Copies of this chain bind each other. A is one copy, B any other.
Amino acid sequence: MRPSGRDLSDMRAVSIETGVTKHAEGSCMIRIGDTHVLCTATIEDRVPPFIKGSGLGWVTAEYGMLPRATNTRMRREAASGKQGGRTVEIQRLIGRALRAGVDRVALGERQITVDCDVIQADGGTRCASITGGWVALRLAVNKLMKAGDVLSDPLVDPVAAVSCGIYAGQPVLDLDYPEDSEAGVDGNFIMTGSGKLIEVQMSAEGSVFSRDQMGQLMDLAEKGVTELVAAQQAATA
């Protein structure tokens, strides 16, 4: 029934390749099916003005798409002179999600910026960015700990995200682009490795959904995030 032939509760193939750029303090290429996102983490000593002198750290994120990551070429945001509403919304989401798993006291007064750049898109880029972004963050923090700059681990729980939706009347896990563009209801669940919720975003476009369906989607999300956290652990072990 799904265009890809997957079962309703099947994720696409997941791979996480670390150490893909020589400059960044942490980096990975995450591939969820044909969605490929390059994630890098940059450590800087400065923090945003609103926490200067507080002793607390900060984690933030930026998101971008190469112009031809998609089926038809999109206009380059740098050329159009601003980041679109969708981009801003996504990068705020990634930052919030990653911060939920960070002990900012333990991190100390420094900032880690996670850049998520979509090299190839096939649905689910924001979830892939969060999941891969956490891996880049993990690797950068490992470097801080190895250097003795950070003493107790500020990453209290892994963070991963997966999309779910109602496609052709059925709840499905991890929508690819053909499903995403047809689904009346879809959204993202961001969770921790220990099964807690960080963010739930379910949205209907020209449709509505019931509380029962909401429950079924959460069941799927829990399954998906469990698999993603296992892949994160394998990649950073």
Contacts and interface: CB of A to CB of B under 8 A. Distances in A.
How many A residues are at the interface, by size bracket? 35 or more
B66 A96 contact: no
Contacts of A44: 73
Interface string A70-93: 110100111101110101110010
A62 B117 CA distance: 17
Contacts of A206: 99-100, 104
Contacts of A73: 42, 44, 113, 115
A38 B29 CA distance: 14
A82 B82 contact: yes
Contacts of A78: 64, 76-78, 82-83, 87
A233 interface: no
A100 B42 contact: no
A163 interface: no
A208 interface: yes
A23 B205 contact: no
A211 interface: yes
Given A88-B89, A197-B204, 12 more contacts: A21-B68, A21-B120, A23-B68, A40-B68, A42-B68, A73-B113, A76-B78, A78-B87, A79-B83, A100-B205, A199-B204, A200-B201
